[in-house]
Structure formats: C-alpha cells, structure tokens
Amino acid sequence: MSKRQRSNEVCADCSVPDPHWASINRGVLICDECCSVHRSLGRHLSQVRHLKHTPWPPTLLQMVQTLYNNGANSIWEHSLLDPLSVMSGKRKANPQDKVHPNKTDFIRAKYQMLAFVHRLPCRDDDSVTAKDLSKQLHSSVRTGNLETCLRLLSLGAQANFFNPEKGNTPLHVAAKAGQILQAELLAVYGADPGTPDSNGKTPIDYARKGGHLELADRLVEIQHELTDRLAFYLCGRKPDHKNGQHYIIPQIADSSLDVSELAKAAKKKLQSLSNHLFEELAMDVYDEVDRRETDAVWLATQNHSTLVTETTVVPFLPVNPEYSSTRNQGRQKLARFNAHEFATLVIDILSDAKRRQQGNSVSVSKENVELILKSITSQHSNESQDNDQPDYDSVASDEDADLESASSKANRKKATKLEKQNSVPDSDYDNAVSYSDLDDTGSGRKGRQRSAGWQGEGSVPETGDTDADPSSVLPSTEDVIRKTEQITKNIQELLRAAQENKHDSYLPCSERIHVAVTEMAALFPKKPRSEMVRTSLRLLTSSAYRLQSECKKTIPVESSATTDIQLVTQQVIQCAYDIAKAAKQLVTITTKENNN
C-alpha cells in the first residue's frame, strides 16, 4: 500500500487516523483502542492482526487492503449511511469518545449484534434464504469483486456450501478461476481446501490443473494452517509443504526432565481422544496461541503509561456462545499454563496430529483409560478449591441462545480441515474422556507446580514473612503506577529486542526488569492481609526470576547442547506477559482499595 493511501486511512469504527490493526474477517482497519474491544469479543467475531508487527501471508494482507479500499466498512454500517439515522440518534463512535462505554457499545452493536447491516426481507424459511445466498456466492467468486462476496457472507451465505447442481463448492469455483483473493476470503470464513467435489477433486487439484501454482501452494498452507501456526509459535519455522514435509515437531531441551506419571497419563489421555474431541482441543490451543502472540504485540507497541490505565490485554479466551460452558471453561484454563507447560501441550498436539494423519494407532485398553482418569481425578481433588476460583467470565450454557455473526462458523471449519488430514477412525473410547478432564493437559499438575518456580541459582523469594503479622496497609496508587510504568517500559525494551532478534539484549533487559520488580514488591508489606495481593505478588516475583532463568539460556556455553532460541524467545515473551499482568493486577487492587 502506498504512503499516500496509508496517510488517508482511518479507523473503521471511530475514524482515528493511521490505524495499526486489521480485523481480517471484517475487512477493516482499526485503531489501538477499538482493537482492544475487538479482542474482547473473541476470534469467532473478529480476527485481529497488527499490520506491521505480525507476519502476514502476502495475499491475505492484500485481501484485507482490497476490502478496506473498496469500502467494506459500509457493509457493517449500512443503515448509518442513511441521513435519517442521524435524526434517529444513531451515530458511529468518534475519536473523542471513551473506550468504555461509548466505543465498546458501538463496536458490539456493529459486529456482534449486526445492528447496522442491511437486512433482507423476512422469509418464512431461513434455510431457503441461506441456500439462495450461498448459490449467489457460488457464482460471485469467479469474479474479483470481494466486497460483494463479503456482503453475501455477512448475510448468511455459507463459504463451504456444496452446490448440488454444480457438484462443487465456492472454493472450487474460485480455484478454477485463479481468484486467489476470493480463496483467501472464503478460507477466512471456513472454506476447506481439502473438500472433494462430485468428481473427487479438491480446490488444490483444480488450481494446479489451471496453472495457478501460487494459489495451489497457498491452499496447501491454508489446509495445514492450524499445525503450521502451532509449530511456528514454538520454533519460528514452518514445514516445507512443497517438498512433502507437512509437520515440524519442536523439542524442548530439558523435556527429559518432565517424566512425571501425571504427565505421561495426560499424554495418554490426549492420544485416546476421538478425532472430534482432539480437533476441538487443537482448535482451542490455536486460539490460545493467537491470544498470547497478540498480547505480546500489545506489550511491545502500546504506550507504557496507557498499559497501566487501560484494559489492553485479554487475560484469557473470551466466551464463545456456540460452545458448551464446559468447553469455554476449559479454553479459559489454558491461560494458566506457563510457557514450559504450554509448549509441552503444543508439542503433544503436534505429535498426535502427525500420528493420526499417518494412521498410526495407539493401543490403550478401556481399563487403562479409566485407570488414568481415576488417578488424575484423585490428583486434582486436592486442587479443587484452586480450580473453583472465579477466574472466568460468565460462561454461556448449552441452552443459551445468542445472535451469531456470519463469521462465527469459521473457527469450527479450521478444525474440519484438521479432520480432513486425519484418516484414523474415531476411537472406541469416545465417551471415556470428557473435555473437562483436559484442563491440565500437558505437563500435568505436578509438573506445573515444579516448573512454575525459578530453576536457576537461588530460589523464588517468598512474598510473605511467616513471623510478621498480616497487614492491610497498601502503598499509594501513585507509587504503584509509577513502578508499574517502569516495569512496563523495560518489558517493552525486551519485547522489541525479541522482535529484532537481538538475543544478547535479553539478559540485560531481564536484570533491569528484576530490579524494577524488586522495588515494586518492596512497596507492599511483608505479609499482606489480602489474598489477591499475595497472589499477584507471587506471580510478579516468580515470573521475574523465571524470566532471568530463561534469558540466561541465550548465553553460549560450550559444554551444553544447542539452545533452541525460538523456543526460549517464546518463553521469555510469556514470562514478560505474566509480569505485566501481575503488575496491572496490583494497580487495579490498590486503586480500588485506596478509593474505598
């Protein structure tokens, strides 16, 4: 995009100039403040990505820019373009509006409630309307008119619709016509490149047959997007699909240390899942990877004083009303995993995805599965009080009805693509493992407790003095904010070093962060009376020590094995995020208590 075009860009939701983020499935560019609201909606409503600090497939970025330049925002604000809307009191947000409630209410109405989208005349049979729209989409994708197709998708057209008269899907049509941007849009809304037509041919086959080799290669990438994203998150590399390599399984340098019985049991549970449950878990982990990566970009790009006063990070995955309450809680528990635990879970998923795709079976008897579940249940019973903490949003129940945007089905389709890769039939023990049992999948509870502490020299300092009397005295809000700004500024320096691959800067940055954290902790009494304060201080100090430990791994040591710097970087980023989260919690607590 040219500099002249960039200078004319404004946020689609509030008209702030020079937006830095994009909502991929909405085809709009948005500012930092509006993006924070989009992220709180969840990926099923808005898939956000930073324009500069996040890697983009070139044709996906081109698709978003084309939609934005061709006025895709008018699809979501159709009724606001009517002059009568001003008289009725309807208006879009403006730059001077506060994030809460003004911009938040407008963005939720615009994308969640679809309050301003042009409505079709009411029909008795909604399925007929969706079928008609899908047939129109089927015809439209052979052209380059992206905004027409986005409008049809916004009204309920199905990206994976199989046209019985033509014997194929819209993606087959786009692939035959070589419409790579249409293929990108359809894939965002859930179209599957592996779907066969009535002749058994996939869109990939037709793209190759038509000589559209760039499109064919891109469709292969889209088909493996889930596992590619997980691998890239850990090691910064993607498989070489052109040469037949479809999986990369990263290895943790100290993985041999994690051999607890609970960790082994968790891996066996993962392997015993049916394909359907495995795909759900893989998709949830994909969403968690997206949340963690986007949070890291937030911390690196936002003004550090703004980070203290505004809600700019998403602490766990937002509720998706399409999912059961059990699954939503399981998704949100993924945020509890520290960097090592989460990396272990990702590697286990990648390994099992490859096993299932290759058709290798795992011999696990029903008795063994039940024994595993029983042992894990007993291990978790001691943690029930911890697990029952109100860490979650209000979670939608299975019976709750909610409005659903046209894009909300796309996440399910990504799991379907994984299913296409897996040729193994469903396990005989589909009902032996429930999704709720997977809340601590990965290194297991014991492994989590062991790895949560700092593994380097010394030990994590205790925030409470057992000989001291509990104190309810808290430092001033101004002092806590000042120290938090110092911590955040140092974290931003570390994250910029990570983005620029300046690995030798990790340790000096971590030492400055450690000093700032120590000064922050010293503001509080040795034994705070508030459990929330004690918990936040423990997270703050343990994360700072863990950060130093990870950063020390970047120092070359002749006698040690080669360090996977990409994996270390991911763990460094997660530690930095945990520190920022703990500091923000302390600001919130002290502000609330001092104002009472």
Starting from the edge strand earliest in sequence, which strands make up the sheet with 21-23, in order? 28-30, 21-23, 48-50
Report the b/e string of 490-524 with b at 16+ CB within 10 A: bbbbbbbbbeeeebebbbebbebbbebbeebbebb
Grade residue 206 by pLDDT with cuts at 50, 70 and 90: very high
Residue 178 buriedness (CB in 10 A; 0-12 / 13-18 / 19+): middle
Whether the predicted pLDDT of 437 surpasses 90: no
Whether the predicted pLDDT of 123 surpasses 70: no
CATH fold, domain 126-223, is 1.25.40
What is the chain's mean pLDDT, rounded?
80
Residue 577: per-residue pLDDT: 83
Which residue ranges make up each domain of the chain?
3-112, 126-223, 255-386+408-451, 462-595
Residue 50's DSSP bridge partners are: 21
Please tell me whether the peptide bond between 475 and the residue prior to it is cis, using omega within 30 degrees of 0: no
Look-up: residue for tokens 């994590």? 460
Give, for 405, the enclosing helix (H) or strand (E). Answer: none
For residue 8, the SS3 value is: coil
Whether the predicted pLDDT of 514 surpasses 50: yes
Whether the predicted pLDDT of 430 surpasses 90: no
User: Among 80-94, 146-160, 211-225, 501-515, which is the least confidently predicted range?
Assistant: 80-94
Residue 298: per-residue pLDDT: 83
User: Roughly what angle, to the nearest 10 degrees, separates helices 213-223 and 170-177?
Assistant: 150
Residue 393: per-residue pLDDT: 47
Whether the predicted pLDDT of 364 surpasses 50: no
User: Among 72-81, 265-274, 357-366, which is the least confidently predicted range?
Assistant: 357-366
Residue 413: per-residue pLDDT: 56
Grade residue 495 by pLDDT with cuts at 50, 70 and 90: confident
Whether the predicted pLDDT of 368 surpasses 80: no
Residue 392: per-residue pLDDT: 41
DSSP result, 403-429: ---GGGGHHHHHHHHHHHH--PPPPTT
Residue 537: per-residue pLDDT: 93
CATH fold, domain 3-112, is Annexin V; domain 1 (1.10.220)
Q: Are the C-beta atoms of residues 440 and 448 closer than 8 Å to each other? A: yes
Grade residue 571 by pLDDT with cuts at 50, 70 and 90: confident
Residue 48's DSSP bridge partners are: 23
CA distance 461 to 450: 15
Tokens linked to 493: 């320096």
Residue 560: per-residue pLDDT: 55
* Angstrom distances, CA of residue 43 to CA of 186, 204, 345: 16, 26, 21
Rg (CA), the chain: 25
CA distance 548 to 544: 6
As separate numbers, helices (DSSP H) first and strands (DSSP E) second, the chain gives 26, 3
User: Roughly what angle, to the nearest 10 degrees, separates helices 339-358 and 410-421?
Assistant: 50
CATH fold, domain 462-595, is Four Helix Bundle (Hemerythrin (Met), subunit A) (1.20.120)
Residue 162: per-residue pLDDT: 96
Residues near 97 by beta carbon (within 8 Å), at least 6 away in sequence: 14, 103, 106
Q: What is the mean pLDDT of residues 381-386?
A: 42
CA distance 489 to 43: 28
Helices (H), 502-556: 506-522, 531-552
Tens of pLDDT, residues 17-39: 999 999 999 999 999 999 999 99
